[in-house]
Amino acid sequence: MKVDIIMPKMGESINEGTIIKWHKKVGDEVKKDEIIYEISTDKVDTEIPCPADGKLVEIKAYENETVPVNEVVAIIETDADAKIEETKEEDEPSTDQIGSVVDVPMPKMGESIFEGTIIEWHKKVGDTVKVDEIIYEISTDKVDTEVPSPVDGTIVEILYKKNDVVEVGKIVARISTKSGYRKVKSEKEEIIATEKLKESKSEVKTQAATERKIRDKKNSQSNKFFSPLVLNIASKEGITMGELESIVGTGISGRVTKKDILNYIDKKGTKQSTPAPELSVARPITASEEIPMDNIRKRIMEHMINSRDTSVHVTEIMEVDMTKIYNYIKANKERFLQNENLKLTYMAFISYAAVKALKEFPLVNASISKDKILLKKDINLGIAVAVEPNGLIVPNIKNADEKNIRGMAKAISELSRKARTKGLSPDDIMGGTFSITNYGVFGALFGTPIINQPEVAILGVGAVVKRPVVISVNGQDTLGIKPMMYLSLSHDHRLVDGLLGGKFLKSIKDTLQNFDVGSI
């Protein structure tokens, strides 16, 4: 029986994942729960186990390819005796040589990328290739990149030539591996393939004609490559081919990228608007190093921008006297650690107080869907965890309202451990209703956190610091030293206004300042 392996959903707002490594190749035997590939999303990098024992018979998505959630990325065959069925004519052989054929598609390099231009072939038909060996380069409006071979084998067909524009997902080449058989195309299939190839070529004919016109018009004799996007921008902005040649490119092999030409246009516009020439003054060049973002950092960036553009952020801040909890932790910390192997921290008490406030003000435990308010019946408390070297993930404690201080402390400790060891499951990340971020652990006093979509509020926790405060003794004001903490609540003003946000934050403050330590 064939079993589909799909791209898992790693969070409520996660709609796609990028395959960063395959641990198995086609033909390999796999065991249930054995790691077969790794993925990266905007919240987590994780390893995906095999759902059953069997043999990996097909890989549909390759390394560095971005795949929508629930789309099939591979297929395994669980029946060891299963045979691949082939329909063939009685008098015609179904194969012509040893070697199963693997399609090499134009990869999807981003959510808004629908085509790419082949800018260089590193291999030709008949060449042998190794897995992960670079076989061709592509250019899109966002990135130039090299595309590796998905398997070991021999290139038997190249469907598009250099400078052809190809839609994402279309097959650009085929590789024959060293086992199995290659299916022979029937006459009908050959005709269909030829027609499709003609259609593909006609689609890019207009683009190619435009490029030729620009080259002819500028009388350029250069062999330097410019992507269709760059040429299109140059045509619209009246940039000559000579000017294009003068632009210093930052892409692969010094190619001019979209960013390069737009920067040139901005500088050119500034120069043209200057009424009088300025004296050339030598200025020191600031040394800098361009470091590409890794996948998880790009996803975090997109997630933060989406939240900024979705929610109307408002932040309220209150100061909390943590004397009672400070004294309790100081007196009982070692006892909890020795007797229960439990690290008692402020976060357990703050989380408990937040859950109590959420039950009192359920609108803060909600989300917005168009013009509807979705009140959540469960309280799933998200705890932001920093992951080295520069990641951030927000797993959540399911049914947090059912836990006491001890249960809350254990749950927080377990989630933090799993986050830092890549042990989180999709269930740990999905379904959060309210989040807490503790920037105080780094010594920050307060901040204005960004809401974790699709939630409507997030609580920020500052460091507990001893400060002089005014206290009343026998009706007289005097100064005293107390452990103080700032709490900040960022909330979505579309649903949570200042009154509700203030009441919610005040409830947490009152619970912490008057905590019944005898109930622990």
By annotation, the residues acting in catalysis are 493, 497
Sorted by sequence, the CB contacts under 8 Å of residue 190 that are 6+ apart come out as none
Count of CB atoms situated within 10 Å of the CB of 153: 21
Q: With contact defined as beta carbons under 8 Å apart, do 42 and 296 qualify?
A: yes
SS3 29: strand
Cα–Cα dist 228/117, whole Å:
8
Q: With contact defined as beta carbons under 8 Å apart, do 118 and 162 qualify?
A: yes
382 beta partners: 396, 435
Q: With contact defined as beta carbons under 8 Å apart, do 59 and 22 qualify?
A: yes
Cα–Cα dist 14/41, whole Å:
7
- Extract the tokens encoding 176: 């024959």
Cα–Cα dist 126/153, whole Å:
10
Sorted by sequence, the CB contacts under 8 Å of residue 201 that are 6+ apart come out as 164
CB neighbour class for 130 (10 Å; exposed up to 12, middle 13-18, buried from 19): exposed
Query: Token match 């979509």: residue?
Result: 453
Count of CB atoms situated within 10 Å of the CB of 141: 20
Cα–Cα dist 484/310, whole Å:
33
